[in-house]
Amino acid sequence: MSLSMALTKGRLEKKTVEMLDACGYGTEALKDKGRALVFKDSKKDLEYFLVKANDCITYVEHGVADVGVVGKDTLLEGGKYYYELLDLEIGKCRFIVASLPENDLFNKVGHIKIGTKYPNVARNYFLSKGMDVEIIKIDGSVELSPLLGLCDGIVDIMETGATLKENGLIVLDTVCPISARLIVNKASFKLKRKEVMDLIHDLEQEVLRNAAALE
Ligand code: PRP
């Protein structure tokens, strides 16, 4: 049976395609894609869709895609009707709390405002610290919000740390590490068990090869 796979566009896309390539999958169409969004694998019985991270979860939850590759950041923020079966160990970064050096969030008395693209992650983090904060949802360039006085601090993704540094923000805490995960539709895991397990096996071997190469 054929498998359909939702891949997250953008930052994760190149690394995911490289990984599939290294596993011996036929990803030529994904590398020379123009404006197309659906691609057939040239070697395996597999079809790829390129979608935004949140939509990757939606397609998998609804069974339109049997499997998906998406960041743990997106998984932590929403969606739960899928199996998360493999850490691909690519797209590594972390969730952090940051602010201007003078905004000592954790010792501030009174109302605290936090800007973030990830309100659920931010809310859960501050609840775990016993802090009641106001969450302000922002869709991008989150680092700007404390600079302009919209909020006292942010919860965001940090990869290299360059964006924080260039905007004069400092890391106050790490919320958790993040990497890309393979998620699987619950029905597909039963009905296409062999195909899904073969894919997981191939990707797992590549995860191990990558880890060995780093040693
Ligand atoms: C992400 C994140 C940070 C930046 C971190 O934003 O929200 O702004 O990358 O990366 P760095 O630590 O390597 O500097 P993205 O580039 O996805 O753009 P956005 O802010 O418009 O969402």
pLDDT value at 73 more than 80? yes
113 and 81, same structural domain?
no
Q: Give the range of the structural domain holding residue 103, as residue numbers without chain letter.
A: 93-177
C-alpha 57/C-alpha 64 separation (Å) is 10
Separation of 190 CA from ligand 1 center, angstroms?
37
Q: What is the pLDDT of residues 2-17, one digit of tens each?
A: 999 999 999 999 999 9
Q: Is the CB of 65 under 6 A from ligand 1?
A: no
105 and 82, same structural domain?
no
170 and 119, same structural domain?
yes
The ligand 1 atom at the shortest distance from the C-alpha of residue 161 is: 12
189 and 169, same structural domain?
no
Give the number of domains in the chain.
Answer: 2
**What beta strand segments (E) does 88-128 contain?**
93-99, 113-116
Given pLDDT bands bounded at 50, 70 and 90, which one contains residue 36? confident
**β-bridge partners, 155:** 97, 116
139 and 110, same structural domain?
yes
Q: Is the CB of 167 under 6 A from ligand 1?
A: no
Total residue length of the chain: 215
C-alpha 155/C-alpha 123 separation (Å) is 10
Q: Is the CB of 138 under 6 A from ligand 1?
A: no
109 and 66, same structural domain?
no
Q: Is the CB of 159 under 6 A from ligand 1?
A: yes
196 and 160, same structural domain?
no
Q: What is the pTM of this model?
A: 0.94
Q: What angle do CA 13, 78, 76 make, to 5 degrees?
A: 70
Tell which one of 95, 147, 159, 167 to mutate to probe ligand 1, the residue whose CB is within 8 A of the most ligand atoms.
159
pLDDT value at 35 more than 90? no
C-alpha 85/C-alpha 182 separation (Å) is 6
Alpha helices in 24-161 (DSSP H): 28-31, 53-61, 72-77, 119-128, 144-147
DSSP string, 156-188: EEESSSHHHHHTT-EEEEEEEEE-EEEEE-HHH
Query: How high does pLDDT run on average in the chain?
Result: 95
Q: Do residues 2 and 40 make contact, with C-beta atoms less than 8 angstroms apart?
A: no
**Which CATH number belongs to the domain containing residue 160 in this structure?**
3.40.190.10
Torsion-angle region of residue 151: left (phi > 0), alpha (psi -120 to 50) or beta? Answer: beta
Q: Is the CB of 214 under 6 A from ligand 1?
A: no
Q: What is the pLDDT of residues 111-143, one digit of tens each?
A: 999 999 999 999 999 999 999 999 999 999 999
